[in-house]
Amino acid sequence: MIKVLIVEDSPVVREFLSYVLSADPDIEVIGTADNGEEALEAVKRKRPNVVTMDIHMPKLNGFDATRRIMETYPTPIVIVSGSTTAQEIATTFRALEAGALAIVPRPKGIGHPEHQATAKELVQTVKLMSEVKVVRRWPRPKTEPAIRSVPRVEIHRASAEVKIVAMGASTGGPIVLQTILSELDKDFAAPILVVQHMTSGFIEGFAEWLSQSSGLPAHVAADGEYISPGHVYIAQDGFQMGVKAGGRIALSTDEPENGLRPSVSYLFRSVADVYGRQGVGVLLTGMGKDGAAELKLMKDSGAITIVQDEKSSVVPGMPGEAIKLGAESYVLSPDRIAGALKNLVKR
Q: Provide the 10 A C-beta neighbour count for residue 211.
A: 18
Of the residues 197, 211, 231, 329, which is catalytic? Answer: 197
- Give bridge partners of residue 240 from the DSSP assignment: 252
Known catalytic membership, residue 263: no
64 is catalytic: no
Pick the catalytic residue from 170, 213, 265, 329. Answer: 170
Residues linked to residue 3 through DSSP beta bridges, in sequence order: 28
Helix (H, G, I), strand (E, B) or coil at 280: strand
Determine whether 182 is an active site residue. no
Give which of 28, 202, 12 is closest to 127, Cα–Cα.
28
Q: Are the CB atoms for 228 and 245 separated by under 8 Å?
A: no
Q: How many other CB atoms sit within 10 Å of the CB of residue 85?
A: 11
Q: How far is CA 229 from CA 184, 226, 281, in A?
A: 12, 10, 16
Distance of CA 246 to the CA centre of its chain: 29
Catalytic annotation, pick one of 9, 34, 54, 290: 290
Query: Which residues, listed in sequence order, are joined to residue 251 by a DSSP beta bridge?
Result: 241
Question: Residue 234: which of 183, 286, 188, 169 has the closest Cα?
Answer: 169
Cα-Cα-Cα-Cα torsion 236, 239, 242, 244, nearest 10 degrees, comes to -100
User: What are the Cα distances from residue 217, in Å, to 89, 158, 213, 253?
Assistant: 18, 30, 10, 26
Strand spans (E) along the chain: 2-7, 27-33, 50-53, 77-81, 102-105, 164-169, 192-196, 218-220, 232-234, 240-244, 248-252, 279-283, 304-308, 330-332
CA distance 334 to 308: 7
283 phi and psi angles, rounded to 5 deg: -115, 125
What secondary structure does DSSP assign to 295-312, as a single string?
HHHHHHTT-EEEEE-TTT
Give the residue numbers annotated as catalytic, written as ranges.
170, 197, 290
